[in-house]
Amino acid sequence: MAINRNQTLEEYLIEARLDCMEAVLQPSPDGFQVLLKATQQVIGTGATKEAALDQAALQLSERDLFCDTHSIPLDDLDRECRMPLDEWLSCVDSGGFIDYDGSGHPATLTHRGSAILSPSYATAKRPLPTWVTHVCWYNK
């Protein structure tokens, strides 16, 4: 999930359900960096604020995805929206699904996670946890 250019880092963290993580955007010798306050870990760098925020957003969305416990049983809507991972990836690769079309949750045949799985994440060829076999895709 990329940060909207009009969105602050705090707004992104809330939208990504990571608002418990306090982060700060600050100048660095090469431009800007995003730090987690608790650990002082750099999670994004860039020549511009936007580049640093985009990198931080990708790092946080990946962390959220890999920390997901996929423990939410599928309800009726989830079952209707569930599709095999390879089918979802094919739709993303062909341009059939883009970030503005909706959002998804990583899933198995019987459960889903709480992390948001966006087409831009898949387009970037970022890794997925091995437990992900399906995606619950919700069109807007």
Per residue in 40-70, pLDDT (tens digit) is 777 778 888 778 877 777 676 666 666 666 7
CB contact set of 25 (below 8 Å; sequence gap of 6+): 9, 32, 33, 34, 49, 52, 53
Q: Tell me the C-alpha distance between 100 and 103, whole Å.
A: 8
Interior/surface letters 93-110, b for 16+ CB within 10 angstroms, e for the rest: eeeebeeebebbbbbeee
**Where residue 140 falls among pLDDT bands split at 50, 70, 90?**
confident
Q: What is the pTM of this model?
A: 0.58
Q: What is the mean pLDDT of the chain?
A: 79
Domain ranges within the chain, ordered by starting residue: 9-67, 72-139
State the Cα angle at 66 between 45 and 21, rounded to 5°.
55
